[in-house]
Structure formats: structure tokens, C-alpha cells
Structure 1
Amino acid sequence: MSKHHRQLGIASQVYMVSLLQRQDRREQMEFLSTIQGLAWAVIDAIPSTDPSVNHILDWVVKEREQLAERLETTIDASSNFRWPREIDAWSVNQGPLEGSGSDSWARKGPPSTKPKDPSNPAARPNLTCAAEDHSVPALMDKTPEWMVLSPAKISCWYSHVSAIRQFVDRTDAHIDDVAVILEDDIDMEMDTADRLSQVWTVLPAGWDIVFLGHCWSNESSYPALTRPSSHASPDNISSSSIEGATNLHPSFAPKCTHAYALSLSGARRLLQHLRYPPFAYSRALDQAYAWLIRSGRLRSYSVVPSVVVQRKTVSSDILPGMGSEWREGLQNGVFGS
């Protein structure tokens, strides 16, 4: 697809992840898409009460039981976790991505697992969110809610994987394709396309993911990327010195998954990590992304300031009330955020 026809200035495909029952959000997103001239594919997120969520949780329990058994026979815990060496090769391969890892978890639980009653909270012990590669903290009375591996977190992970998979599995995929994945509780700058077109000119080759919005992290921790220049002059001063300018920074530890872009190879690379059984569904999705970035598994960049933010004007599907306390505004948002 030529750059002239790219949505938001950068994307060959745009996906909007939304629960079918959240028609209130979908109506708002339809208004946003009309204003921005977007033609996105809607990914129907699965509700946290869907039986597939219970199947996935049963697989997580089984993986952790197997990990505990291995830890009993070894002193070095790190020796029990190794990322597949083939991930780099898989990410650049243009062939079909066959089913593997946790791809089948949603269809049925492990063979040795008895069916759980989703209406009975005591049917399965609460699980904690893993840290780093596979460190699983013990559940305590005072474990904060964000550290509990809830069905809503599983639903979010599965729904985003569905969007990524749809992007990767297209028969007409091109190596230069870019996907933008959005959630249904967002606002964005009116001139998002212009801003992204500008910062994309400094994006290094081989990138995997770009956060168009983020939370709970100072994403300007690393210096902004600039175009190489042999002479300093008023005409080539870095835009990072201009107050309010949109810049691109190497990612620090971005949280939240309400708006991000993926290259085709980055989408394949990310998917390989997200479906690797010891890591799959092990924590909140944004915590997984942040760890993959911090540990050097993904080449990630962040747009600063955010050009897409969470609105937090309607109830959250993940956390109680309006969601987390993080708030961020825009200069000229479609909804005035």
C-alpha cells in the first residue's frame, strides 16, 4: 500500500478491539473514525465470562504446576526458562504462521483438568501476575488488584492476540505493512496523521512496535530521535527543543495497550512471545509488553507526548470504576480530552 493511502499517515491496517456489548463505546468510536477518515476492522473482544477464558486459566495453572515440579529438581531457576531460538527467524519469514504454543488453549482445557464452574469463584485459586520471564510471586492477603491474574486480563490478552493474528495471517501481506491496534476508550489528536507522518521519518529500520499512547512511565527518559545533520542551523534544530512538539523516543517502560503500531515482522515477533506457553497469559498484557521491551526482546519506540489517550469517561472492563488513576490530556483531541 502506498504511503499516500495509509491511515493515520502510517497504517495499512487499523484494528479496533471492543466488547460486543459495549455499544456505548462503539458509537463513540464510530464518531471518531468518521472524523479521522478511518476504515478499521473491529475485533470482537471476548468477555471475561466466556468459557474460553476458563480454559486458558486452566492451562496457566498447569504450566505453573509443571514449573514448580521442575524447580524442585534444580538449583538454578533461570535454567527452566529459555526463549525459542527460532523467534528471530520466524519474525522475518513471510510464510504462513502455523498454530503453536498457546494458540489452542481457548478451545479446551488441559486433558487432566476437571471443568470449572465459572460462576463459582472458589472453583480455582486466585493466581498472581508473573514478573520478568516467569517469576510467580505468592498470593498474599494484601496482594494489590493489579497483581491478580483476573479473567478480565486473560480476555484482554486473547483479544489483542486475535487482532495481531488477523494482521499476520493476511494472504496479501507485504513486508512494509503497518498495523495500528486501538482500544475502544480512546481520544486522539485531530492532526494525528500529520504528527505520525513526521515522526515516522526518524523511525529506525527493524523496529517492532511504536506506542502512540502510553501510561505509568516517563517515555522521554531516553533522548528523542533526530534526523542526522552535518550542520547546526535554525532550520534543523531538533523538534525536541520545541515545547509541545511531537517526538519519537526509544521506549523506556510503557504501560497500557490502548494505541500502538506494529510492523509486520514486529507483529510476528510479538506473537511468538505471547503464545510461548511458559509466558503466555502470565500477567496483564501491558506488563508483558513492558517486560519484553525492558529485556530487549522487542525494538520499541514511544511517541511523546501521546497522540492517543484513554478517555476514562465510561466504566472500565478491566479495573473497577473508571480504571486506573493515570490521566493524560491532548492539545486538540477529537473529544476534547
Structure 2
Amino acid sequence: MLERVGKRRAAIIAIVVGLLYIVSVLSSSDDHQWYPYSSSTDNDALYRAQIASVRPTDKLPHSKTLGVADSIYVVSLARRTDRQELMRSIARALDLQFTFIDATDFRSARVAKIMERVKWQRPRIDEYDARPEDWPTPDANSSDHLIYHAFPFAWSQDLIENYADPLQNPIGISGADYWTLDPPDTAWEAEHPLPPKDDNKIMTTVVLNHQYKRVPLTLPMISCWDSHARIWRQMIEKGESVAIVLEDDVDMEFDIEAQLRTMWPALPPDWDIVMLGHCWSEEYRSAPLPGSSKLRLMHHTLCTHAYAVSRRGAMQLIRHLRSPDIAYSRPIDHAMKDLAQMHRVKTLSVYPQVVIQTKDGKSDIVGNRNNDWKEQLVDSTLERIRLLSNGTEGYLKEIVT
């Protein structure tokens, strides 16, 4: 019994002696000083500055057009000054330069005229929504002729002639461009007179798109299509190589410039569109491109609130979408998605997206929206703006609640 107590006492003494030795060493040697993890020295600050600039992209100068585009266009109805103010706050926060483009108003005479031209071009809607190459060629005297060929689809001759090299010839005026000329081409209109005004509804889509089959074509759909098409033509006329197009209800990652600069070298040389933001998408189904974990070949994206378009891509979009049989036939995001899935334009997507729609308030195109499918950002620019404007007290209140 006494022997066990003695051993236990010896063990305790040994532990105490060891601890005293360690404390004495630490307190007597400058080489073993203990620094708390949160301490900061001039050397630490220098180290952080060095490690923050070890990649080539860290040394690139800041660009007011995000380092990859010639211009950033924001399409916005002139009357939506509330949205324009929100976009200006983003531009200020990120030191960006936005070029605001007045969106086409769906209540304008221009849009009403386009609607009548669409009805004139499409005497009735094809029942099958098949690809043009899949359509049969029945005997002209058979009843099948009425079923399949009451509206035969065709791409415009302008597109066919310039498809191999869309940059070879100027974009010019062709096809459905004549529907929107201001002033109008009186000679062309005399050769293509409109029938009496038709108040009947017309359905969207002509080819490929099953999602919008038998959905009524609306004036807001046409106005949105026209707004984006005018931006494509403007960037071509200005000789720009790349433009970024934003709608006026977006939020974006605070480090979007750094992210885009990292992605852009991985783009294939013949890219047409990069969807910076999208909705109802399944982009996880496509593998990332070599050199970028966030860039993928587009699988299925809708919404046009944020995308980059190359000069080649803008010319491809214009030439395809002014083909009279498809012009203004559906929402513009469906048209762009359809062309990508038909492998007629090379579209890539950013996943996860770096720009999202805020979905705050009523949409000018679709009306009230369901916020349940609102995407999320890692570091929202608008969130930073709100926190700064609220101050520390607002910030603490926000994170507590």
C-alpha cells in the first residue's frame, strides 16, 4: 500500500518538474516566444500583401468594363428610374462604367407593328414544332401538305450565305430588319403590304421549342427581344469586340472582375456567348472547361439578365434571329437557348453564376415573380452597399435577426 502511494507521489513530482522546465525554457529564450494567432506585425502585413499578389491576374490594372469587355450595356425602360439608380449604386461600388440603353416600350407603335408583321409572316402555327430538317416533304396534292407545310420553316438566304464566316461581310439590312426601320423603307413596305389588323392571339415558337408551345406571344416578349437586338447592332456599329449586356434588376459578386479575368483565358477562340447569369438551368450537367472550374458548355439556360457576347456572336444572333420565319417568335432567352442547343451559336455558361436577378418587385416582362427560385451569391455587391449604408448598428441588427 505504502509502495503504491510512493510511486504515485513520484509520478506527480515528475510531471510538475517537467511543466516548470517547459515554462522556464519558453520564458528565457527569444526563439520560443509564444504569439497569439491574432497578433499582427509589420512583417505579417508585408507577407499578406505579397501572398495577395502571387498570381498574374492580381497584378492586372482595374478596368471599368470588368477587364474583358469594351462596354457594359444596361437595358432599362426610360421610366424605370428606380432601377437605374440601383444599377448606378453597383457601378459606383465596383467603379464600373455602364452605358444605359432605353429599352423598347411594349406600348410603342414599333412593337405593335412588329406583332402585325409576325402574324403576317406566320399564317398559322405549325402543330409539330419539329426541326426544319425533320419535316417531311409530302406530295403537294395530299392532305398531309396542309398539316405539315402550311408554314414551312426556312432560314434566311442572308444567314446561309454568311454562316461559315459571319465576320466576312457587313451586317447590313435584311429579313425582319425591314419590320423595324425608322424611317421605314417605303419601297419594301409597298411590296410587302400588311393585311387588315388582326386582333387574334398568335402562339409562340415555330421550331424546336416545346416549352413555349401554344403560349401566346405577347407585346412585352417582342419589346424585350427588340431591346437586346438593338444592343447587338450597336456594338457591331461601334466596332466592339466584346460587350456585356445587363438588365436593370441584377446583383453581382463583389469580386466579379477578378473572377472574369481568371475565366477568360479558358474560352475557346470561337465563342459567341457567355451566360454570366441564368435561371432554370442545369449547368452542373456539363463538365468544366480545361483551365476554368466555372466555365462550361451551355446545357440549358434561360433569362438574359447578364451575358457577354463577342462580335462574332452578335452577328450570328442577328443573322439567325432576323430570319423572318423565326423573328420575334418567342421570348428572347428561349431563342438564344434554342440556337445554342441547335449548335448554331457557341454558348458557354458560368456555374455558379456571378450575376443574379434581384427579383425585387414586379417584372416589366412577366409581371409578378416567384422569389422561391432566386439564385444566391457568395458575396453580394448590393448586400455590401446595404451594410455600409446601415452602418455598424444596422449590420449587427441584420446578422442577429
Tell me if 1:300 matches 2:368: no
Query: What does residue range 194-233 of structure 1 map to in structure 2 within 5 Å?
Result: 194-227=258-291
**2:172 counterpart letter in structure 1:** E
**Contact preservation (8 Å) 2:94, 2:254:** yes
Following superposition, the deviation at residue 131 of structure 1 comes to 5.0
Query: What does residue range 51-70 of structure 1 map to in structure 2 within 5 Å?
Result: 51-65=109-123
Task: Name the residue aligned to 1:328.
Answer: 375
Query: What does residue range 1-337 of structure 1 map to in structure 2 within 5 Å?
Result: 5=63, 7-65=65-123, 73=140, 74=145, 77=149, 80-83=152-155, 84-89=159-164, 91-93=166-168, 95-107=169-181, 111-114=193-196, 116=197, 124-133=199-208, 139=214, 147-170=215-238, 173=239, 177-227=241-291, 240=293, 247-322=294-369, 326-336=373-383
- Note the alpha carbon deviations across 1:173-198, whole angstroms, 9 max, x for none: 26xx2110000000000100101111
Secondary structure in 2 matching 1:164: helix
RMSD: 2.8
Report the structure, 1 or 2, having the larger helix content: 2
**1:82 counterpart letter in structure 2:** A
Following superposition, the deviation at residue 9 of structure 1 comes to 2.2
**1:223 counterpart letter in structure 2:** A
- Note the alpha carbon deviations across 1:238-273, whole angstroms, 9 max, x for none: x64xxxxxx101000110000000111111111111
Secondary structure in 1 matching 2:344: coil
- For residues 82 and 130 of structure 1, what CA distance do their matches in structure 2 show? 14
Alpha carbons of structure 1 residues 64 and 191: separation in structure 2 relative to 1, 3 Å: same
Alpha carbons of structure 1 residues 137 and 213: separation in structure 2 relative to 1, 3 Å: closer
**Contact preservation (8 Å) 1:315, 1:323:** no
- Note the alpha carbon deviations across 1:202-253, whole angstroms, 9 max, x for none: 11110000000000011121100123xxxxxxxxxxx64xxxxxx1010001
- For residues 17 and 315 of structure 1, what CA distance do their matches in structure 2 show? 16
Secondary structure in 1 matching 2:116: helix
Deviates more, 1:216-225 or 1:77-86: 77-86
Based on CA coordinates, which of the two structures has the bigger radius of gyration? 2
- For residues 320 and 209 of structure 2, what CA distance do their matches in structure 1 show? 12
- Note the alpha carbon deviations across 1:72-109, whole angstroms, 9 max, x for none: 9447659933333223245222x532111111213568
- For residues 87 and 328 of structure 1, what CA distance do their matches in structure 2 show? 38
Structure 1 gaps of 5+ residues are 117-122, 140-146, 228-238, 241-246
Secondary structure in 2 matching 1:269: helix
- For residues 304 and 212 of structure 2, what CA distance do their matches in structure 1 show? 24
- For residues 197 and 27 of structure 1, what CA distance do their matches in structure 2 show? 27
Secondary structure in 1 matching 2:373: coil
**Contact preservation (8 Å) 1:206, 1:299:** yes
Structure 2 gaps of 5+ residues are 1-59, 127-136, 385-401
Following superposition, the deviation at residue 307 of structure 1 comes to 0.3
Task: Name the residue aligned to 2:23.
Answer: none
Percent identity at matched positions? Answer: 35
Normalised by the length of structure 2, the TM-score is 0.68
Secondary structure in 2 matching 1:86: helix
Deviates more, 1:276-285 or 1:95-104: 95-104
Normalised by the length of structure 1, the TM-score is 0.80
Following superposition, the deviation at residue 133 of structure 1 comes to 4.9
Task: Name the residue aligned to 1:143.
Answer: none
Following superposition, the deviation at residue 112 of structure 1 comes to 2.9
Following superposition, the deviation at residue 113 of structure 1 comes to 2.7
**2:109 counterpart letter in structure 1:** P
Alpha carbons of structure 1 residues 32 and 72: separation in structure 2 relative to 1, 3 Å: farther
